[in-house]
Structure 1
Amino acid sequence: MTRDVVKYYANCRAKLTATLGDGVSSVALTPDIWSGNAKEDYFSVVAHFINSDWQLEKRIIGLRLIDVSHSGENIAEHLLYVLEEYALADKVFAFTLDNASANSNTVERLTPGLSAYVGELFLHQHCACHIINLIVKCGLKRLKPYLEAFITAISFLNSSNQRIAAYKSYCISTGARPRKFGLDMKVRWNSTYLMLKHVIPYKSTFSVFLQTHYPRGQGDPIFLTETHWYVGEKILEFLELFYDSTVALSGVYYSTSPLILERYLGP
């Protein structure tokens, strides 16, 4: 099985090398670094190009372990190795990276040798989705107390299978469709949007369930007040615009640069 997998990989890589060599005049690259479950970092390179049939394609051309610091020098070295493997050094149309300083340093190091196709001016494209992420995370810091109330309430529900079953039974008894609520993740702001999107329609059932099950001392206020729900609805409206923009700009089989220009400059 090992030999068959290696043979299959070699054949696929040979076909991809032939495709990139003969029918492709330029490529746009998206390098990134991902962390695995074993706390190991992997350097990935995705190539976007138009094939000989005028179809837009996206292929992973590099996925390697990077066990050195994520400096501009090391990233540039790993990226250059991938480009030399597929003979793409003179076909690079643009790099799309996030706004980390190491990425800017990477492009500065590579630009002199990789700007033959398009020149130096537009070689580095900053990731619009990462910019949106920075904007939203900055805004959410001011709304943290209201979000923490929802996070605590959902954590209370999800911390016990008995509570989850009890809430499901209550929803059924009231004619509401039962569902589970996921928590947000600090590294993904769009998960905050999805958390609010799922829980706010269940305001009536969830509020009653919390009042009857969440332990409160005598005279303590209701955990999720009307103010919390009102602000939660407004936060949801605020995040929806950015969420829709992120989804649109995360497209794979269509060009996203014109969408950025349209949103900034207008139709």
Structure 2
Amino acid sequence: MSSCLLDCFEFSDRHTSENLAEEQLRVAREWQVDEKVVCCVSDNAANITNAMNIFKWTHHPCLAHTINLIVRDALKVMKPTVDKVKAAVEYFHRSTVGAEKRKSTQRQMVLPELRPKQDCTTRWNSTFYMLKQFLDSKNAIISTLANVNAPVDALTQEEWKVVEEVCRVLEPFEQVTVEFSGESYVTASKMTLLCKGLQRITASHQREANVTTGHVTELMDTLCSSMDRKFHRMEYNHVLSEIATLTQ
């Protein structure tokens, strides 16, 4: 596997579909590959998607970005709980007293001295890592926040249950995101299989009633609905089928 950067330049014009299409075609013609393009991959922005349609290049949205949109949208239903976790994490990052007390408590409880992770708005899995590590340090965090009288709202038992269940539901999405972020192996050939797998495993959580909290049930419904739209008829995509066949 290898990749080549054909051009990198400041683009000061308006990012309309027409302007983007013109620049992409210019670069492709400069390198004499405009008649050799098999497929273009980009994020899901409407302007870049429409740009591809202007000169009829086959276009596929980046799956990692698609999953980011799906999960970010679903996480909105539990925003109050996520905001509470973020506030606590931010407190530990800015308070020396809180951070030292947290580390001391973790040592006393024979727990790893994990520094709470902060999330990034453009990467949904950073929110997953924040929630997962927060959950792994649950007892130390509860004790520390109580002892230092931190100016943040503590999570209720119900909210801790929400965090636990959402981590279990989202773990397969994190695994697929990591798999599709690889640069040294072919990923498109796995797309159909892994997307259908995400749909099946999320549906199984619904059928088997593995989730008891209302927010996470709503989150799963949103995930399933979004995947139905985004992954519709993916198995009939001829480009993905050809890539899967060629990489066997």
What's the TM-score, normalizing by structure 1? 0.68
1:262 aligns with 2:197: no
Which one scores higher on RCO, CA 8 angstroms, separation ≥ 6?
2
Report 1:26-41 matches (<5 A).
none
Aligned with residue 82 of structure 1, among 9, 27, 38: 27
What is the aligned partner in structure 1 of residue 245 from structure 2? none
Aligned-pair CA distance for 1:126: 2.0
What is the aligned partner in structure 2 of residue 155 from structure 1? 90
Distance 1:77 1:264, change over 3 A: same
- Aligned mates of 1:197, 1:60 — CA distance in 2: 36
Aligned-pair CA distance for 1:107: 0.8
- Aligned mates of 2:18, 2:175 — CA distance in 1: 35
Query: Are the aligned partners of 2:81 and 2:155 in contact in 1 as well (CA < 8 Å)?
Result: no
Higher strand content, 1 or 2: 1
Per-residue CA deviation, residues 46-66 of structure 1 (Å, 9 max, x unaligned), is xxxxxxxxxx21122222111
- Aligned mates of 1:175, 1:135 — CA distance in 2: 37
Indicate the structure (1 or 2) with the bigger Cα radius of gyration.
1
Extract unaligned runs of 5+ from structure 1.
1-55, 116-122
Higher helix content, 1 or 2: 2
Query: Are the aligned partners of 2:17 and 2:47 in contact in 1 as well (CA < 8 Å)?
Result: yes
Distance 1:107 1:215, change over 3 A: closer
Query: Are the aligned partners of 2:176 and 2:194 in contact in 1 as well (CA < 8 Å)?
Result: no
Aligned-pair CA distance for 1:193: 0.5
Q: Which runs of 4+ in 1 moved over 3 A?
A: 264-267
Partner letter of residue 108 of structure 2? S
What is the aligned partner in structure 1 of residue 9 from structure 2? 64
What is the aligned partner in structure 2 of residue 214 from structure 1? 149
Aligned with residue 249 of structure 1, among 172, 180, 195: 180
Query: Are the aligned partners of 1:211 and 1:222 in contact in 2 as well (CA < 8 Å)?
Result: no
What is the aligned partner in structure 2 of residue 109 from structure 1? 54
- Aligned mates of 1:264, 1:257 — CA distance in 2: 11
Number of aligned residues:
198
Distance 1:231 1:161, change over 3 A: same
1:193 aligns with 2:124: no
Aligned-pair CA distance for 1:222: 7.1
Partner letter of residue 182 of structure 1? K
What's the TM-score, normalizing by structure 2? 0.73
- Aligned mates of 1:98, 1:222 — CA distance in 2: 37
Per-residue CA deviation, residues 73-108 of structure 1 (Å, 9 max, x unaligned), is 121122122212322111111111222211122112
Distance 1:151 1:205, change over 3 A: same
- Aligned mates of 1:154, 1:238 — CA distance in 2: 22
Aligned-pair CA distance for 1:215: 4.5
Per-residue CA deviation, residues 200-233 of structure 1 (Å, 9 max, x unaligned), is 11111111001111357xxxx9712222211101
